[in-house]
Structure 1
Amino acid sequence: MSPRHEPRRLAIHLRGFLNALSRYFSFPLRLVHSLFHSILQRYSRVASTRFKRIPNTDGPSGRVAGSILPQHNLSQLFPVPLPGPPSNPSPPPSNHVPQPNPATPVEFQPFTPSEVMRYEKRPKIEPIDKSPIIQPLTRDYTDIRGSENWSALVHPEGALYFHDFVHGIYTDSDMQNQDRRNKMDSYIAELLCEAAGLGLNLTGGDDIELVVQLFRKRDSQICKYYFVDHPRRLILWIHEQHTEKLFEGVRGVEKLSHIKYAVEHQYWSHCEMYPNVNLDGPALLKELREVVVHASAENVTTDLSLSPFDGDELSKISDLISQIQENVQRKGEYQVHSICVIARFMRYFARAKFFNFCGLAAARLDADQSVYVKTKESKLIVALSWAFNAALFGAPESHMSELRRVWVDRSINSPRWKNFNNQLSSEWSGITMYSTVMIAVDVSFLAVPTVMPSDGSQPPPVVSTYISVFCIVGSLVVSLFLTRQNRRYGQESADKAVDFLMKVTGSAFGTKALATVHSLPYAMLLWGMVYFVFAVAYQVFSSTSSITLATTGSAFGLVVVFTLWLIRAARDFHVSTQLIAWFKAHFSRD
């Protein structure tokens, strides 16, 4: 080919390469183009809805993103020209004070000290590696300051809260923000005005206090509050207060004298969260000492004490009271730490009084006493419970009686709950050891040549041993699972234990279901032993020797008689007594 045709040939190859390249990339390019086109259309629709028109009779209307700026600030940021002679803009005077924005609609809601969001939804800290420099001779390390009437305080636990010493107001809301502080002041003024109309005045003394906390809603601000009456140890509200959370699930609460203990429990919660050193510390400490002494005496003299603490815990509380007394005598005044300690213990005792219906004719006087009318169970539940109890060797009934001494009227006594779980852990640990031994015994029995035939057949002793192994392995697995669960929930606080028990006893069977689950390790171990005894007995009694049958049969019968006798004696069941009662019931002429 001549050299003059070379450029044409190269052009043809280049054109073919570009056509192939366009075919390969045309689809991705169209896809990207359509994607960007749809995004631009969506953005244009969103932008058109987010912009609002500002009416202006004297000029063209402007538009501002409504989601960024509040409507009442638009005129300040974008002033509308007024009719009149033109004038040069002048800077605002130095003493100009900006007018506060119109207050956001507020909704006042009563709440309790236990609902204060101190331990929930705490602010988070960014994990930034930063090393600030401390200036020379720095002596003031205060960077969290109050303002005007608000003073920043630190709780002994470390929580930050603010206190208005002039009016006696507390809040967990951050008062360092000027806008929030202005809102809070206006809301408090409105709340106090409404309270004054009902005859409740906040004088700023130590008798009446106010706690407020701000919450944000979609279109309004929620200001939750409660008043505190220290002389009467009460929490007050100027609106209706629902009692679902106040009663904590306790049923049958009707008397005001009973409700007072629930309110007093909330009062001590307030004193614990916002300690006031101006309270009558000596009188409170003396009252706490008397309560602890009485509870200690109950723990010593009876095992049905209603005290929320056991003997060891009460002894430690007595030591703490003595230490507080020594510190007060040395320093001459009560500190916030001492007030917090006293209020915390008083809160537990007040709560126990409420749960036990203290002061009523039907008050609970023993830890295992129910105060409610016993409801009649359905016949189906009774029949199924009896069947399960018989199939599991009466273990559910035994666990049921123990559980009823702890879980009474949907409430628990903390010391008895801990003792109950310690007993369960000991029982399941022993069953785990016995199950391990029984597995070894079953496997050893299967290794006997006369038990396992060489022809591959499966005689009844082998099948029975297999079932025994399955039962014992099930007992071992359930014991390990329940032991782990007991370690998780058994040592929890009373509130978490109540939540756990409410969850597992919420079925139609109630506490019977939990008692049945607790009895499974023991029952399955016994079934494994029964099947193993059957395998051994079948292997022994299948012998053709009459001497062997006579000796082993008599020994086996004697063991069975003694075993059943001991079981009946342990269950306080006597055959003769039952027969006499049956004859009297059926053949008596009366």
Structure 2
Amino acid sequence: MSTLEVAYTLNPITPTQVDRFKPIARSVVGNNSSALGFPSKFGGGRSLVSGGAVTHPEGSLIYYDDRLISCQPITSTHRNIGASILSRCSGAASNARVTVFIEIRNRSQADYYIAAHDFKMILWIDQQLPDCFSGAPPSKHDHEYWIHMENFPGPVFSTSQDRQELVNVMASTAVDAATSDGSTSPMSAEQLHENLETIKRFSEEIDIYQTYAIARLWNMLLQSRVINKYGTPEARLDRFITISERPPKFTGIYEKVNKLMLHTPHAHLVRCARAWADRIAYTQEWRKLKARNEQEWQQVMHLACVLIMRVKYPKSTECVLTALCSFSASLLVNSQSTCSFKVISNFSLLTGLGSLASVYYLLNESQNLGHHAADASTYFQEREEYAYGVQRIAIINAMPQALLIWGFIFFLAAVLI
């Protein structure tokens, strides 16, 4: 941290750490900077000219004053902190197009960063660096810059060159997504095509709305690059490469449970492994997982209802399984067989009810989950285990199907007794 005029400590942060949805209260900012030991004017030709506020496309206010920007209304305190930061910029950054973000957290600390628009980078003074940015790859710099532009798409707008570069990257990514099952694209080929058509309709004069849209799309692409170590020797070229090299399988106690459940969880294990490969979630893969699970659970629900009806009203069973019932009719005469029939039928009924209850719970839970990669990450992180990964999730998701199969096995056994 750097100390400014003894009064404020400057804390370097990244745009990711800015929560514009919950800005620091204005009450922590004093309106009289002279009482805090600051000069009343900038000096050195860097005085900030008239400013104001613009409305973010999502509805919040962006406060600015020349090269300063903030989630807070800008006061003389912000101006003096900004003047000190700008006066300490060195090298090419001192003459470049820059925006200084400042957020005063309390009466002794202010968060800041410098967005260098010509270099598409986030900078800090005096060789400061946030802890989370240590050793960051080049794609991380790009990503943080466009997060800044998404948070503050005005009054500095993106350029037509930014838009054209985005179009080129999205077109290339769309081809990759359309031709490769393991593409690391954060969007499907169809989504990329739709967004490309939207961008191409933008006017030549880029405004705050177009800047926001461009930054939003850049962020989706760049976040995927950061996660997949784009531009490094360890770059992940296929998101399913680890699954191909190490196919998922059950271990420990879950291996025995998988056998008891007639290996029905294996398909769910493969699905979960694909949706959470290398602990990275993709929106399209998550939606496929949800849709496939929900379709399977709905089928199980219908069959479980059929099973319960057949067990509850055995005479209707005789109509469907006439041959089996006539074969077992002579055996049902003795009381021991009748007792066994009732016991096994009850087992069939219980497993059918268990299947119905579990499928209702899982189906309701799935339908209430979000449809984006962030929702997938939350889902898997809350349920995975350190030693077994997603194995427990697969076991739980296969429970309705396994109970249904056991229910039909008991039902057939009861009919044949």
TM-score, with structure 1 as normaliser? 0.59
2:129 is the counterpart of 1:240: yes
Partner secondary structure for residue 388 of structure 2: coil
Aligned partner of 2:101 in structure 1 is: 211
For the residues of structure 2 that align with 1:400 and 1:346, how far apart are their CA atoms? 33
Residue 433 of structure 1: how far off its partner (Å): 0.6
Residue 422 of structure 1: how far off its partner (Å): 0.7
Amino acid corresponding to residue 240 of structure 2 in structure 1? D
Partner secondary structure for residue 226 of structure 1: strand
2:399 is the counterpart of 1:524: no
2:111 is the counterpart of 1:224: yes
Amino acid corresponding to residue 185 of structure 2 in structure 1? S
Task: Tell me: CA distance 1:241–1:537, structure 2 relative to 1, closer, same or farther (3 Å).
Answer: same
For the residues of structure 2 that align with 1:448 and 1:350, how far apart are their CA atoms? 60
Structure showing greater radius of gyration is: 1
Residue 200 of structure 1: how far off its partner (Å): 7.5
2:228 is the counterpart of 1:356: yes
Amino acid corresponding to residue 160 of structure 1 in structure 2? L
Residue 279 of structure 1: how far off its partner (Å): 5.3
Aligned partner of 1:184 in structure 2 is: 78
Where does 1:277-296 land on structure 2 (aligned, <5 Å)? 281-296=159-174
Task: Tell me: CA distance 1:169–1:117, structure 2 relative to 1, closer, same or farther (3 Å).
Answer: same
Where does 1:128-207 land on structure 2 (aligned, <5 Å)? 149-165=50-66, 168-175=67-74, 181-193=75-87, 195-196=88-89, 202-203=94-95, 206=97
Aligned partner of 1:579 in structure 2 is: none
CA contact (8 A) 1:212 1:225 kept: yes
Residue 276 of structure 1: how far off its partner (Å): 4.8
Amino acid corresponding to residue 267 of structure 2 in structure 1? S
For residue 114 of structure 1, the aligned residue among 7, 13, 16 is 16
For the residues of structure 1 that align with 2:139 and 2:251, how far apart are their CA atoms? 37
Where does 1:419-458 land on structure 2 (aligned, <5 Å)? 419-445=288-314
Task: Tell me: CA distance 1:456–1:233, structure 2 relative to 1, closer, same or farther (3 Å).
Answer: same
Residue 514 of structure 1: how far off its partner (Å): 0.6
**Superposed CA offset, 1:21-71 (max 9, x none):** xxxxxxxxxxxxxxxxxxxxxxxxxxxxxxxxxxxxxxxxxxxxxxxxxxx
**Superposed CA offset, 1:74-93 (max 9, x none):** xxxxxxxxxxxxxxxxxxxx
Residue 445 of structure 1: how far off its partner (Å): 2.0
Task: Tell me: CA distance 1:458–1:266, structure 2 relative to 1, closer, same or farther (3 Å).
Answer: farther
For the residues of structure 2 that align with 1:311 and 1:448, how far apart are their CA atoms? 50
Task: Tell me: CA distance 1:452–1:439, structure 2 relative to 1, closer, same or farther (3 Å).
Answer: farther
2:212 is the counterpart of 1:340: yes
Task: Tell me: CA distance 1:104–1:445, structure 2 relative to 1, closer, same or farther (3 Å).
Answer: farther
Amino acid corresponding to residue 280 of structure 2 in structure 1? S
CA contact (8 A) 1:400 1:511 kept: yes
Where does 1:9-408 land on structure 2 (aligned, <5 Å)? 105-120=7-22, 149-165=50-66, 168-175=67-74, 181-193=75-87, 195-196=88-89, 202-203=94-95, 206=97, 208-216=98-106, 220-238=107-125, 239-243=128-132, 256=136, 259-276=137-154, 281-324=159-202, 327-328=203-204, 333-370=205-242, 382-408=251-277
How big is the alpha-carbon RMSD for the aligned residues of Structure 1 and Structure 2?
Answer: 3.3
Aligned partner of 2:33 in structure 1 is: none
**Superposed CA offset, 1:115-173 (max 9, x none):** 222112698xxxxxxxxxxxxxxxxxxxxxxx9633222222221121122xx111111
Paired residues, what number?
380
Task: Tell me: CA distance 1:478–1:534, structure 2 relative to 1, closer, same or farther (3 Å).
Answer: same
Structure 1: which 5+ residue stretches go unaligned?
1-102, 124-146, 176-180, 248-253, 539-590
Task: Tell me: CA distance 1:428–1:447, structure 2 relative to 1, closer, same or farther (3 Å).
Answer: closer
For the residues of structure 1 that align with 2:383 and 2:158, how far apart are their CA atoms? 44
Partner secondary structure for residue 81 of structure 2: helix
Higher relative contact order (CA 8 A, sep 6+): 2
2:360 is the counterpart of 1:480: yes
Residue 107 of structure 1: how far off its partner (Å): 2.2
CA contact (8 A) 2:304 2:404 kept: yes
Task: Tell me: CA distance 1:536–1:296, structure 2 relative to 1, closer, same or farther (3 Å).
Answer: same
Amino acid corresponding to residue 184 of structure 1 in structure 2? H
Aligned partner of 2:351 in structure 1 is: 471
Task: Spell out structure 1 runs of 4+ moving beyond 6 A.
Answer: 446-458
Partner secondary structure for residue 201 of structure 2: helix
Residue 309 of structure 1: how far off its partner (Å): 0.9
**Superposed CA offset, 1:478-515 (max 9, x none):** 11111111112252x32232122101114532210111
Residue 440 of structure 1: how far off its partner (Å): 0.5
Structure 2: which 5+ residue stretches go unaligned?
26-47, 319-328
The percent of aligned pairs where both chains have the same amino acid is 22
For the residues of structure 1 that align with 2:317 and 2:14, how far apart are their CA atoms? 71
Residue 400 of structure 1: how far off its partner (Å): 0.9
CA contact (8 A) 2:242 2:278 kept: yes
For the residues of structure 2 that align with 1:515 and 1:416, how far apart are their CA atoms? 16
Residue 383 of structure 1: how far off its partner (Å): 2.9
TM-score, with structure 2 as normaliser? 0.82
**Superposed CA offset, 1:296-321 (max 9, x none):** 21232222222111133112102201
Aligned partner of 1:510 in structure 2 is: 389
Amino acid corresponding to residue 241 of structure 1 in structure 2? P
Residue 382 of structure 1: how far off its partner (Å): 2.2
Partner secondary structure for residue 163 of structure 2: helix
